[in-house]
Amino acid sequence: MIDDKLTEKIIGAAFKVHNELGFGFREKVYQRALLYEIRKLGFEVEEEYWLDIYYDGKVIAKHRADLFVENKLLVELKSLLDLSKADEVQLVNYLNAAKVEIGLLINFGQSVQVKRKYRFYKKP
């Protein structure tokens, strides 16, 4: 189930973190601050959550998601000058392989960059 209200709340929390901390910290600092903000919003969130990766119906590996919110939203964090297409493709691959419907790629660069990705095509 795709929950746009949930993603909007998480994106808002990311902007709050960036406004407070600014640019230049390592990813882990933003991860901990965002984890704190998401919990303040009352959402269930797991840090460094291990997701099963499926191939041909079988679990073949595990992937550690930076954050997994409400058991349905995979959040991958970066602290880079800019996101690349490879970062986006990686998130989509994680969604497909882990059978998770929606993910956010959030970059705490000079400004916050957010890419919302879906496992299946969603009309805008």
Max CA pair span of the chain: 44
Pairing label, strands 73-78, 102-108: parallel
CATH number at residue 20: 3.40.1350
Note the pLDDT tens digit of each residue in 74-96: 999 999 999 999 999 999 998 98
Residue 88 lies in a domain: yes
CA dist 24 and 26 (Å) reads 7
Residue 17 lies in a domain: yes
- Total domains present in the chain: 1
Note the pLDDT tens digit of each residue in 100-118: 999 999 999 999 999 999 9
Note the pLDDT tens digit of each residue in 36-77: 999 999 999 999 999 888 899 999 999 899 999 999 999 999
Q: Does the pTM of the predicted model rise above 0.75? A: yes
Q: Collect all residues with Cβ–Cβ distance below 8 Å to 88 and sequence separation of at least 6.
A: 105, 115, 117
- Domain holding 83, by residue range, is 4-118
pLDDT at 4: 86
Q: Read off the DSSP letter of residue 99.
A: T
